[in-house]
Amino acid sequence: MSGFGFVLLVLFLVFVAPLWIIFHYVTKWRSQRGLSAQDEQLLAELWDISNRLEGRIQALERVLDAEAPNWRNKV
């Protein structure tokens, strides 16, 4: 390899390659900043499931309050 080719290789590795990699990942980050449609659907399903579970827990607490009023003190 000639001296000029070596200098070009070093310049590429020191300046061009790092900038290329940085701009590549900045572009990727900007394109993935928001939620995808699939992520939004999953989030809505999880929200619905959590609301149903909360309702079940409240129902169980009402049953326990009626049948064993001191159940909260035993925990």
Per-residue pLDDT tens over the stretch 35-61? 888 989 999 999 999 999 999 999 999
Please tell me the distance from the alpha carbon of residue 4 to that of residue 35, in angstroms, as a whole number: 48
| 45 lies in the same domain as 75 | yes
pTM: 0.53
What pLDDT is stored for residue 2 in this prediction?
80
Residue 43: which domain range?
A: 35-75
What pLDDT is stored for residue 31 in this prediction?
82
What pLDDT is stored for residue 1 in this prediction?
63
Torsion of CA 23, 29, 33, 36, to 10 degrees: 120
The DSSP call for residue 15 is I
What's the domain count of the chain? 2
What pLDDT is stored for residue 58 in this prediction?
97
Token pair belonging to 67? 């049948």
The chain-wide mean pLDDT, for the chain, equals 90
Looking at this protein, which amino acid is placed at residue 72?
R
| 46 lies in the same domain as 71 | yes
